[in-house]
Chains A and B, each alone.
Chain A
């Protein structure tokens, strides 16, 4: 029985009168790639953003239920939420480099936690850029503004930046949808490498991408979890009718 890293129980989320997430119960396994799949508007991005409580930014969203991360209910905990957020790195649909140079982007998370020693920071920059396969390209350009990188490079930079705070989990919201095929493949391969060290949750609307990288699948439709399980079983022996229809491409 694999370890469950995040356990979501009875999660309900509403904006005004609209219910975005209906009674969501999912278990996200440790150190595996979990893909949240479903047509647009089904609530998958909202679910992802609840996991690190980014929904706090939107006070109109009302949430009930619990999200257990290592025995702490992050929805109701009294602990500092910024510490909890550091356990999870976020990769968005489009890269959002911070308005500073490459070096400062990577070290941002470290500097705001108070770590200032230049030598240590430099070591980390090298380490994480190497992890993202950017070190050779960028080692002489660390003081350049991050905005002058190509979009594929920016996304890898955001990945390096997120890894630099030593998270345990990586949350990715359609991370390759804005990228060209080569950069997309680079990100997917990186995830496959990283899953030995991190729990990865990827939101995607691409069935092909899910087939390529998923160990575990959660299929959502209109705010509900329709089916979830190990990837092999999901793709080969789906149980629900809606799942079968989706896999056949009857709706996307």
Chain B
């Protein structure tokens, strides 16, 4: 009987180690295969030029339109989401702190919204576009993507702000601060790195998403100069180029994938850095 016990345990421990290994292996495989395939086709020209004539047939140009387009779009969407979302997160934790039930409900709602697939937001965004008579444009894309990332932004900031203990707020009220002052100055200071992490997280989600921009932002070879113009985005640029039968263009798709992957890795590292700083500098109650 004892022997059976041990064999079962040993088998499962081996399986557990295998599973953990599979996950690490998957990550390494993904990163390496993308870089391996894409790096050879990555050139300075690709990063700094927009598509010239014949680009989609393998001729000159680059993906600068997509890179800039994505940066404009994600920055815009993150900004909008922050402007709308930060007050909500503050509201939940400073003003509404007494109404615990209500705040719980809001959190629940936000978690539900977080789970909605981006394509649904895309379809909705498309509906809005038609309703308001907008054409596919940077603006439509920003609106759609910001709707998509608002739940992420709010919940991420909420997680950070809710760790500010009520004692700190009370201390500041007793020193004469109004609610707004306490909210913005003190809470913001205490949570600053955490808020930066939330912003970075949302930006990362925004720049990588294809389904929400598919219907709404269009695609173009030019760098957009106004909000009303359509814009290329990195994910779509990868997607479209990959669908081409010409090998040269496919390779460029892989190179674009490398660019996007590197952007995401940088954001990941930055947000880890900021959350580490958060751990170090915040006052531990």
A residues sitting closer than 8 Å to B (CB atoms) are: 80, 113-114
Compute how far the CA of A80 lies from the CA of B2 in the bound complex, rounded to whole angstroms.
Answer: 10
B residues sitting closer than 8 Å to A (CB atoms) are: 1-2
Chain B minimum-CB-distance residue to A115: B1
Pick 3 A–B contacts, CB within 8 A, sort by A.
A80-B2, A113-B1, A114-B1
Compute how far the CA of A45 lies from the CA of B1 in the bound complex, rounded to whole angstroms.
Answer: 33
Compute how far the CA of A165 lies from the CA of B245 in the bound complex, rounded to whole angstroms.
Answer: 72
Compute how far the CA of A113 lies from the CA of B2 in the bound complex, rounded to whole angstroms.
Answer: 8
Compute how far the CA of A114 lies from the CA of B4 in the bound complex, rounded to whole angstroms.
Answer: 11
List the count of A-B residue pairs having beta carbons below 8 Å apart. 3
> Which residues of chain B are within 8 angstroms of A80 by Cβ–Cβ distance?
2
- Taking the nearest CB of chain A, how far is it from the CB of B6, in angstroms? 10
Chain A interface helix/strand/loop/mixed:
loop
Compute how far the CA of A114 lies from the CA of B3 in the bound complex, rounded to whole angstroms.
Answer: 12
Compute how far the CA of A80 lies from the CA of B1 in the bound complex, rounded to whole angstroms.
Answer: 13
Chain A minimum-CB-distance residue to B1: A114
- Taking the nearest CB of chain A, how far is it from the CB of B216, in angstroms? 49
Compute how far the CA of A166 lies from the CA of B1 in the bound complex, rounded to whole angstroms.
Answer: 20
Compute how far the CA of A230 lies from the CA of B1 in the bound complex, rounded to whole angstroms.
Answer: 43
> Which residues of chain B are within 8 angstroms of A114 by Cβ–Cβ distance?
1
> Which residues of chain A are within 8 angstroms of B2 by Cβ–Cβ distance?
80
Compute how far the CA of A189 lies from the CA of B272 in the bound complex, rounded to whole angstroms.
Answer: 56
- Taking the nearest CB of chain B, how far is it from the CB of A3, in angstroms? 30
- Taking the nearest CB of chain B, how far is it from the CB of A56, in angstroms? 15
Compute how far the CA of A114 lies from the CA of B1 in the bound complex, rounded to whole angstroms.
Answer: 7
- Taking the nearest CB of chain A, how far is it from the CB of B2, in angstroms? 7
Chain A minimum-CB-distance residue to B4: A114
- Taking the nearest CB of chain A, how far is it from the CB of B119, in angstroms? 40
Compute how far the CA of A111 lies from the CA of B2 in the bound complex, rounded to whole angstroms.
Answer: 13
- Taking the nearest CB of chain A, how far is it from the CB of B190, in angstroms? 29
> Which residues of chain A are within 8 angstroms of B1 by Cβ–Cβ distance?
113-114
Compute how far the CA of A246 lies from the CA of B71 in the bound complex, rounded to whole angstroms.
Answer: 68
Chain A minimum-CB-distance residue to B2: A80
- Taking the nearest CB of chain B, how far is it from the CB of A118, in angstroms? 18
Chain B minimum-CB-distance residue to A114: B1
Compute how far the CA of A114 lies from the CA of B5 in the bound complex, rounded to whole angstroms.
Answer: 10
Compute how far the CA of A113 lies from the CA of B5 in the bound complex, rounded to whole angstroms.
Answer: 10
- Taking the nearest CB of chain A, how far is it from the CB of B253, in angstroms? 48
Chain B minimum-CB-distance residue to A83: B2
Compute how far the CA of A113 lies from the CA of B1 in the bound complex, rounded to whole angstroms.
Answer: 8
The 3 lowest CB-CB distance pairs between A and B, nearest first, are A114-B1, A80-B2, A113-B1
Compute how far the CA of A55 lies from the CA of B2 in the bound complex, rounded to whole angstroms.
Answer: 23
- Taking the nearest CB of chain A, how far is it from the CB of B124, in angstroms? 43
> Which residues of chain B are within 8 angstroms of A113 by Cβ–Cβ distance?
1
Chain B minimum-CB-distance residue to A80: B2
Compute how far the CA of A53 lies from the CA of B62 in the bound complex, rounded to whole angstroms.
Answer: 65
- Taking the nearest CB of chain B, how far is it from the CB of A79, in angstroms? 12
